[in-house]
Amino acid sequence: MLVGVKTLTTLIPMSEFSDPIIMKKYGVKPDPETLDIVNTAAKQKQIVAVMKILWGDPREKICEAIDNIPLSCLVIGNRGLGKLKRAILGSVSNYVVNNGACPVTVVKNVDNEHH
């Protein structure tokens, strides 16, 4: 999950993302389901999960984050936009696959496949 505040450059611990008061300070509302998935995976794998908030075009910001963090690999979701919307808006995941400087795995949202 990479979302954004212009001046924030540090990685944020999950405990802060789970605190609504701290998130209000950052001006973002993280998705509770996403936080639950990340927290569960971190506990199961016994790893420390951190997040970064970025502001701007997601295509450019994700590619910049790959270089700046730096990331050795990236797993990115595909919102499953219909063909028309994808043609108009462009696909963030497709852009990152083609322009990111690390291996990228796209997890497709099959629920929206027929829209």
Sequence-distant (6+) residues with CB within 8 A of 90 are 59
**Tell me, what's the pLDDT at 54?**
83
- The pLDDT tens digits of the residues spanning 1-38 come to 444 334 445 788 888 888 888 888 888 888 888 889 88
Would you say the C-alpha torsion 38, 114, 96, 59 has a positive or negative sign?
A: negative
Q: Look up residue 90 and give its DSSP letter.
A: -
Share of the chain above pLDDT 90, in %: 25
State which amino acid sits at residue 88.
I
Q: What is the pTM of this model?
A: 0.68
Write out the two tokens for 11.
């990685």
Give CA angle at 50 (89, 26), nearest 5°.
65
Domain boundaries, the chain: 1-55, 71-115
Half-sphere exposure of residue 59: CA atoms within 13 angstroms, side-chain side: 10
